């Protein structure tokens, strides 16, 4: 992306505009990633390197959130564990509205609106989140 290389594991989820969180190994050239300011960064090239040796990697959670930004461009990613992507009205969400889902998961939450237009609802007691993006996708 713009000449910068990001090295990650194949299962690390990156936020792709129009697709939601996608594992790095399933990214496509031309995918639109978002930076910390909501700007689009195009995936220009992909390369998978298999190693014979074990490589130590870390998975972490930022306090209260499972998402954070990586690289000099601040690309939006999710920690590698426990993310679920759901389209509107999928079996996971049934046919409930966003407000009913938020009431269940983060009842006292006020949304935080990001510069890219996403709304993040957070339950500080459980750490569970609901994210609604501008493409009409819900995540938790």
Residues facing residue 85 across a β-bridge? 139
Residues 40 and 88 in one domain: no
Range of the domain at 22: 1-83
Q: Half-sphere exposure (CA, 13 Å, Cβ side) for 61?
A: 10
- C-beta of residue 3 within 8 angstroms of C-beta of residue 17: no
Residues 103 and 120 in one domain: yes
Residues 44 and 65 in one domain: yes
Residues facing residue 112 across a β-bridge? 120
- Name which residue leads in pLDDT, 106 or 34: 34
DSSP 24: G
Residues 72 and 4 in one domain: yes
Give me the mean pLDDT over the 103-128 stretch: 68
Residue 62's pLDDT is what? 65
- C-beta of residue 121 within 8 angstroms of C-beta of residue 111: yes
- C-beta of residue 31 within 8 angstroms of C-beta of residue 16: yes
Quick: pLDDT tens for 21-37.
Answer: 888 888 999 999 888 87
Residues belonging to the chain? 140
Residue 139's pLDDT is what? 63
Residues 53 and 109 in one domain: no
Quick: pLDDT tens for 71-100.
Answer: 888 888 877 655 544 333 333 443 455 566
Residues 28 and 77 in one domain: yes
Residues 40 and 98 in one domain: no
What's the pTM value of the predicted model, to 2 decimals? 0.57
CA distance 101 to 94: 10
Judge whether residue 118 has pLDDT over 70. Answer: yes
Residues 60 and 111 in one domain: no
- Name which residue leads in pLDDT, 7 or 129: 7
CA distance 133 to 135: 5
Mean pLDDT across the chain: 72
Quick: pLDDT tens for 44-78.
Answer: 988 877 777 877 777 666 666 677 778 888 888 87
Query: Which sign does the torsion angle of CA 99, 104, 106, 108 carry?
Result: positive
- C-beta of residue 32 within 8 angstroms of C-beta of residue 16: yes
DSSP 109: P
Phi and psi of 98, rounded to 5°? -60, -40
């Amino acid at each position: 992306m713009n000449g910068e290389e990001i090295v990650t594991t194949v299962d690390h989820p990156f936020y792709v505009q129009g697709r939601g969180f996608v594992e790095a190994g399933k990214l496509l050239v031309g995918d639109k990633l978002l930076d910390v300011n909501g700007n689009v960064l195009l995936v220009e090239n992909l390369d998978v390197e298999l190693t014979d040796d074990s490589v130590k990697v870390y998975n972490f959670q930022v306090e209260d959130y499972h998402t954070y930004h990586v690289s000099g461009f601040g690309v939006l990613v999710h920690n590698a564990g426990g993310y679920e992507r759901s389209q509107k009205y999928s079996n996971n969400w049934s046919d409930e509205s966003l407000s009913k889902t938020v009431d269940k998961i983060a009842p006292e939450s006020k949304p935080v609106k990001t510069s890219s237009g996403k709304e993040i609802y957070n339950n500080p007691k459980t750490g569970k989140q609901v994210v609604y993006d501008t493409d009409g996708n819900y995540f938790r």
